[in-house]
Amino acid sequence: MSIVIAVDGTAASGKGTLAKKLAEHFGFAHLDSGSLYRLVALNVAHADDEADAARAAQSLSAATIEAAQRDDARIRSAEIGCAASVVAVYPCVREALLQFQRDFAARPPGGAEGAVIDGRDIGTVICPNATAKLFVDAAPEMRAHRRWLELKGRGETADEAKLLAEIVERDRRDRERPLSPLEPAPDALLLDTTHLDIDAAFAAALALVQPKVEEALKAPPQG
Ligand code: CDP
**Segments making up each domain of the chain, as ranges:** 3-215
The rounded Å distance from CA 223 to ligand 1 centre is: 33
Supply the residue whose CA is at minimum distance from atom 16 of ligand 1: 85
C-alpha 34 to ligand 1 mean position (Å): 4
121 lines ligand 1 (CB under 6 A): yes
Q: Is 96 a residue whose pLDDT tops 90?
A: yes
Choose which residue among 100, 170, 176 to substitute to test ligand 1 binding: the one with the highest number of ligand atoms within 8 A of its C-beta: 170
pLDDT of residue 155: 87
- Tell me the per-residue pLDDT of 111-123, one tens digit each, with 9 for 90 and over: 999 999 999 999 9
Which residue's CA is minimally distant from atom 7 of ligand 1?
A: 34
Higher pLDDT, 76 or 107: 107
* Segments in the chain forming alpha helices (H): 15-26, 34-42, 50-58, 62-69, 78-87, 91-106, 140-153, 160-176, 198-218
Confidence category of residue 8, pLDDT binned at 50, 70, 90? very high
Domain 3-215 fold: Rossmann fold (3.40.50)
Rounded average pLDDT over 27-44 = 96
Q: Is 120 in the pocket of ligand 1 (CB under 6 A)?
A: yes
Share of the chain above pLDDT 90, in %: 85
User: Rounded CA gap, 133 and 136, in Å?
Assistant: 10
